[in-house]
Amino acid sequence: MLRAIVGINWGDEGKGRMVDLLSSGCKAVVRYQGGNNAGHTVVNERGRFVLNLLPSGILREGVVNVMGPGMVIDLEHLWGEIVRLREAGVAVTPENLKISDRAVICPPYDRQQDILEEERLGAAAYGSTRRGIAPVYGDKYLKKALRMGELADPDALSRRLQDIVRWKSLTFTGVYGAPPLTPQPVWEWLMHFGQPLLPFVCDTGRYLDELARRRDDILFEAQLGALRDIDYGIYPYTSSSSTLAAYAPIGAGVPGRQLDRVIGVLKAYSTCVGEGPFPVELLGEAGDALRQSGGEYGAATGRPRRVGPFDAVASRYGVRVQGAHELALTKLDVLSDLAEIPVCTAYRIDGRETADFPMGSALDRAEPVYTALPGWNRPIGHCRRLEELPPQAIAYVDFIERLMGCPITYLSVGPEREQYIERGRS
């Protein structure tokens, strides 16, 4: 079975823990887009792990982890992750990690360009994570990127690198007034961090196709959420890759295959890292309290996340563009202290109410319309069955499910592996 776990909202929905849960029994877990600009946090018996590049299945024995051609890979960062895992006693070998020969390398100059551009934008910056993601995807589509498989032929790589650095240097000097680039430091970086990765590099498409033919279970894990998708998200405050389930087979290396199941992950309230329209944003003390209860600080950057009530307008749009068959509602426990829980059920834009998620400047003018639901005012982290939840919590989940028009099959009530409830498929 080919299943994808994807984000319904702005990212940080808790996809990492769902992948950790559902990867048990899977043959392979695959990352198919993005780079080290976001992170999954997985908590299990071995500790707390932040994974920016490695698929979450790396923490499970017997699971093969694949980094697909749709990814962009900062080699230095990847090494850092591998070393930290090995230090914690987690094996990372060519048997349990396979990197696509077509995946794009994110070199240090793209990281630098990301910073130069954010600084040029000043107050109007997009809130980039400054990890080089937008410049490197730009390079890819301008056909000026280096790919993992090129590391196997240093002579050819060296020739391409000379051309690309000459071209990139024009942008550095001409656009940003920065010093020119030279190929030598990039070359040394590629050799130092890239060459030792070669044993992991292969045609991941061929490998996955073989698994699919044998009907092995493959799990595709997305980074970020639907609202950060380059085509369907809150452009230009999006990521530079496709975060949608539909892209999973392409970004993984099996473009001819179709997913059997899409599991959308959404949070019991809203959070958003970085800039861009966020109609339900809760400021002041109420926002601080929710941020604190939810521990809402970016896994990749440590930045405080913007927080707010559940946004059913944005989430229903997310469910639609992801084509979700079922949903996992995470972090329900975080709402346990609230006497009353508001849910945004519509936007008011220019005096008119709508339940459709708009694009462009209309979103900046959207004001949330709330319905308040009663809170449950007691901890729920110990609940493992639906019946153990307070009736108000059950009513909250039912209400969200009705608004989403998609079954909620999992609830999570705490960060630990076993703190979840299977809700059954209605």
Segment contacting ligand GDP (CB under 6 A): 144-152, 202-210, 254-262, 412-420?
412-420
Segment contacting ligand GDP (CB under 6 A): 9-17, 29-37, 206-214, 277-285?
9-17
Is residue 17 a contact point for ligand GDP (CB under 6 A)? Answer: yes
Is residue 299 a contact point for ligand GDP (CB under 6 A)? Answer: yes
Is residue 264 a contact point for ligand GDP (CB under 6 A)? Answer: no
Beta strand extents in 239-356 (DSSP E only): 261-267, 270-272, 306-308, 310-311, 326-330, 340-349, 352-354
- Does 382 participate in catalysis according to the annotation? no
Nearer to ligand GDP, 85 or 116 (CB): 85
Is residue 413 a contact point for ligand GDP (CB under 6 A)? Answer: yes
Name the active-site residue from 40, 114, 311, 325: 40
**In this chain, which of 194, 414, 421, 423 binds ligand GDP, going by CB under 6 A?**
414
3-state secondary structure of 11: coil
Is residue 412 a contact point for ligand GDP (CB under 6 A)? Answer: yes
Residue 323 to residues 2, 245, 341, Cα–Cα distance (Å): 14, 7, 28
**In this chain, which of 14, 274, 279, 308 binds ligand GDP, going by CB under 6 A?**
14
Whether 289 and 48 have beta carbons less than 8 Å apart is answered as no
Segment contacting ligand GDP (CB under 6 A): 12-20, 153-161, 308-316, 359-367?
12-20
Segment contacting ligand GDP (CB under 6 A): 6-14, 98-106, 178-186, 188-196?
6-14
The separation between CA 367 and the C-alpha centre of its own chain, rounded to angstroms, equals: 27
- Does 216 participate in catalysis according to the annotation? no
314: exposed, middle or buried (C-beta count within 10 Å: 0-12, 13-18, 19+)? buried
Count of residues that interact with ligand GDP, criterion CB under 6 A? 22
For the CB of residue 107, give the shortest distance to ligand GDP in the complex, in Å. Answer: 25
For the CB of residue 87, give the shortest distance to ligand GDP in the complex, in Å. Answer: 21
Is residue 415 a contact point for ligand GDP (CB under 6 A)? Answer: yes
**In this chain, which of 41, 204, 238, 242 binds ligand GDP, going by CB under 6 A?**
41
Is residue 81 a contact point for ligand GDP (CB under 6 A)? Answer: no
CB crowding 52-84: b at 16 or more within 10 Å, else e: bbbbbbbbbeebbbbbbbbbbbbbbbbbebbee
**In this chain, which of 4, 9, 16, 117 binds ligand GDP, going by CB under 6 A?**
16
**Residues 6 or more apart whose Cβ sits within 8 Å of residue 9:** 225, 226, 227, 266, 267, 270, 271, 272, 311, 314, 315, 318
Is residue 40 a contact point for ligand GDP (CB under 6 A)? Answer: yes
Residue 400 to residues 164, 309, 358, Cα–Cα distance (Å): 50, 12, 20
CB crowding 13-48: b at 16 or more within 10 Å, else e: bbbbbbbbbbbeebbbbbbbbbbbbbbbbbbeeeee
307-336 residues in contact with ligand GDP (CB under 6 A) are 330-331, 333-334
Whether 147 and 164 have beta carbons less than 8 Å apart is answered as no
Whether 324 and 6 have beta carbons less than 8 Å apart is answered as yes
Active site residues: 12, 40
**Contact set with ligand GDP (CB under 6 A):** 7, 12-17, 38-41, 43, 295, 299, 330-331, 333-334, 412-415
